[in-house]
Amino acid sequence: MSIFTRKLCLILLFGSILVAPLSALPTDPEKLATGEPPSTYVPDGTCIAITDDAYDGSLASMTCLTVPVITSGTILDVNVDVSINHSWIGDLTIKVVSPQGTVSTLQSRAGFAEPADDGTGCCGDSSDLVETSPFTFDDDAVDSAEDMGSTLLGTEFACQDDAICTYFPVPDTGPGINLSDFIGEFASGDWMVCVGDSAAGDAGDFCSATVDVETEGVDPCRGSPGSIPICEIPAMSTSGLALLFLMLAGAGCWIIFRR
């Protein structure tokens, strides 16, 4: 081996020793499927009429909005926001349905202890709702959904006039316990939020619904039903490839040098 070749090999060898630690620096992964979707669906605000005096306890008798949720993982917590125009809170029953078909009643005719979840009886709280003052159902809230409007006059609006905009669910005679009913289910898929009207004479419409889901992670290469699997694979930058080549060249020269 010539002197020049020996010197070149020594340079490559010691160079590879010096820069080897740099090749271990982390790099950003590349994704087979890019883009992590938002956790909630933002409605467009279009209102649809709530059929007056139609509620009989079934989902078919309610006015429903479909709320797509594309967050992957299993559910840890759920909150639901709704925006409604109506002139009599006590007429309304509100339910949420998960993609797996679990039904949970968020509110069942505030101010009225109905004997059954079938839309019969009268009358509940007479306060109003307005779409510009949406309200939230949250298991951690301090105010009961059964008491919505209880401090207001019949012509005043819940949330807008009493500044109470977050309530914990009270199913009364309806199905479910609270929003913890959904814990452990897969989050992704089409949820439904439904509103039913149980008495004639006071009309309204359903303007928007948002389902806010907190999840725990899943294996990114497995995903969850209805989601796009996202698998992270190691990626080496151009500088990393150059360093690898330098290390291999140095190792080869060391083998030749020892002969």
Distances (CA, A) of 257 to 3, 15, 18, 20, 254: 11, 15, 19, 20, 5
Q: Report pLDDT digits (tens) over 111-131.
A: 999 999 999 998 899 999 999
pLDDT at 28 > cutoff 80: no
CATH class of 48-216: mainly beta
Six token digits for residue 171: 């199913």
Residues 6+ apart with CB under 8 A from 216: 73, 74, 76
Residue with more model confidence, 168 or 6: 168
Neighbours of 18 (CB within 10 A): 10
Structure pTM? 0.69
Six token digits for residue 190: 């089409």
Q: Report pLDDT digits (tens) over 211-238.
A: 999 998 654 444 444 444 444 444 545 5
> Are 211 and 128 within 8 A, CB to CB?
no
pLDDT at 23 > cutoff 80: no
pLDDT at 102 > cutoff 90: yes
pLDDT at 52 > cutoff 80: yes
Q: Report pLDDT digits (tens) over 184-220.
A: 999 999 999 999 999 999 999 999 999 999 998 654 4
Q: Report pLDDT digits (tens) over 85-99.
A: 999 999 999 999 999
What is the residue-averaged pLDDT of the chain? Answer: 80
pLDDT at 154: 87
Six token digits for residue 95: 């339910």
Q: What residue type is assigned to position 49 of the chain?
A: A
Among residues 70, 82, 80, which one has the least CA distance to residue 104?
80
How far is the C-alpha of 159 from the C-alpha of 8, rounded, in Å?
Answer: 79
